[in-house]
Amino acid sequence: MKRLALFTDDRAAFAATLFHAWADGVQVVLPGDDLPATRAALQPHIDGWLPLVRAPLPAPGALDRSLPGVVVFTSGSTGAPAAIGKQLRQLFDEVATLEATFGAGLPAETRFVSTVSHQHIYGLLFTVLWPVLSGRQLAPRRLEYPEELERDLAAGPSVLVSSPAHLKRLPDARAWTTQTRAVFSSGGPLPPEASALARQVLGHAPYEVFGSSETGGVAWRQGASSAWRPLAGVQVRASADGLLEVRSPHLLEDAFFTTADRVDFDGSDFRLLGRSDRIAKIEEKRVSLDLLERTCLATGLLREARVVALPGPRVTLALVGVPTDEAKALPRKVLIEKLKRSVHEVVEPVARPRRFRFPEALPVDERGKTPEALLTALFAPERPEPTWISRGAEEAELRLLISPDLRVLQGHFPEVPVVPGVAQLDWAVAWAREVFPMTGAFTRLEALKFQALMVPGHRVTLTLGWQTAKRSLSFRYTGEGRTYSSGRVVFA
């Protein structure tokens, strides 16, 4: 059996290529992107890439349901992404589950509009397989902008398939005139204010769908409820350790699968209490990251909170929090102190967060999720650690090692990370202010030249010069037998 990879933003071509590959007995690997690094990592595990097909789809009923049809990848929320294989039977049975749970209110002409990628299991099921297998319409591509969504949702009976990250960014000025029949959200908990906003703008409170790449869809909820209701045909229970166990038609084995989610049952519904694998060990002390997050959220100072363990000689806990309007009015030091006090009674001092970031929103990837890698990147060093060679009143010299974890390298030319020129300027001015009596605002740049790429692993010497009379800072980055950049910065 051949294993071939498929990536395209064209949803119609994606669907045609996928179904024709299945008709030929091919297992299709679905990477999250087609960056050179992704292609290189996949190359040893695949037989090639599928050429796009633009033809009518073969009849789904003629396909071999036992075919191991796709390989998808987990989001890597608590670690590195893992490859998950799915038989066609599992995928088709899950679509039947979605139809049985939500399909009654969706007419045959309903069009599935989305803000999520079909390269991942949620988008694959909701934006390709469900409309195709139910005879409804799929949208040609993923939409990113509110004006596109409003236009497509007004064109006819529609379903919006989205994520918490996208629904939180809906404009709140007015209600849209749409023919939306339902809104779906998955990939993480939807804050109550985002659910209310979606209802105001789109006319429907979103259905939140809970599941994973391993289990498929498990349960749903809507509106203000915090309890999850199992999807049609899905059985759930708690293990002796309080972990959620799932049995459903779209699991490979007809047995209960134990997840890492801690639960509390109320009749047939359940509430999620956090993941058992989100336990960090800090100097032999075990601490629940979920508990820390809930405690910080209970202060009313944060809309969202995520705690991560930063690796190093000594593991350190760090908090990424999205402040409320009240918290934004506080000095940063005061906000941090209030959050620190909130966890005093919860964990021992060694297990409390020591580093903090307060972005306007949590960072998200292309599927609307917030994997741990994006959170830890917020704590990457801003500048290399300098080794000062000389520090005088008018001249200074320092040496730098360009390490790969610098924040300026995150996402900047990912194929070949490069220190951008604006960062080199910023570093020069910042270090110059540490040694020279520089005052006044920036006026202009003179004789600015960028002559060579500065990349991770390079050892660089930065030479600084300050002329008080001219209020001019000169800088030159050299090393590895070359000059990287040079110029002058003039201040008022």
pLDDT digits (tens, 9 = 90+) for 363-387: 887 777 788 878 888 887 888 889 9
- Lowest mean per-residue pLDDT among 271-280, 400-409, 440-449: 271-280
Q: Is the dihedral of CA 273, 279, 282, 286 positive or negative?
A: positive
Q: What's the mean per-residue pLDDT of the chain? A: 90
Percentage of the chain exceeding pLDDT 90:
64
Average pLDDT of the segment spanning 453-459: 91
| pLDDT at res. 78 | 46
| pLDDT at res. 278 | 79
Alpha carbon dihedral 214, 306, 271, 209, in 10-degree steps, equals -50
| pLDDT at res. 190 | 87
0.75 cut: is pTM over it?
no
Per DSSP, the residues of 151-212 read: HHHHSSSEEEEE-HHHHTTS--SS-----EEEEEE-SSPPPHHHHHHHHHHHSSPPEEEEEE
Whether 397 has a pLDDT exceeding 70, the answer reads yes
**265 SS3 class:** strand
Length of the chain: 492
**95 SS3 class:** helix
Crossing angle for the helix pair 289-297 and 332-342, nearest 10 degrees?
Answer: 120
Average pLDDT of the segment spanning 239-265: 91
| pLDDT at res. 264 | 92
How far CA 427 is from CA of 167, 291, 383, 445, in Å, comes to: 37, 38, 7, 15
| pLDDT at res. 413 | 61
pLDDT in tens, 231-241: 999 999 999 88
| pLDDT at res. 283 | 62
pLDDT in tens, 203-221: 999 999 999 888 999 999 9
Strands 257-266 and 243-247: antiparallel
pLDDT in tens, 419-443: 999 999 999 999 999 999 888 888 8
Q: Residue 168: which pLDDT band, with cuts at 50, 70 and 90?
A: confident
Percentage of the chain exceeding pLDDT 70:
96
DSSP code at position 469: T
Average pLDDT of the segment spanning 118-134: 95
How far is 169 from 422, CA to CA, in rounded Å? 29
Average pLDDT of the segment spanning 86-97: 95
- Lowest mean per-residue pLDDT among 73-87, 112-126, 137-151: 73-87
Phi–psi pair at 340, nearest 5 degrees:
-65, -40
Greatest Cα pair distance in the chain:
83
Whether 76 has a pLDDT exceeding 70, the answer reads no
| pLDDT at res. 284 | 57
| pLDDT at res. 241 | 86
Whether 244 has a pLDDT exceeding 70, the answer reads yes
List, in order of start, the domains of the chain with CATH numbers.
Answer: 3-211 (3.40.50.12780), 287-377 (3.30.300.30), 387-491 (3.10.129.10)
| pLDDT at res. 411 | 60
Average pLDDT of the segment spanning 35-46: 85
Average pLDDT of the segment spanning 336-345: 91
Exposed / middle / buried, residue 126 (Cβ in 10 Å: 0-12, 13-18, 19+):
buried
DSSP code at position 17: H
Residues 6+ apart with CB under 8 A from 173: none
If we measure between CA atoms, which residue out of 253, 162, 164, 262 comes closest to residue 215?
Answer: 253
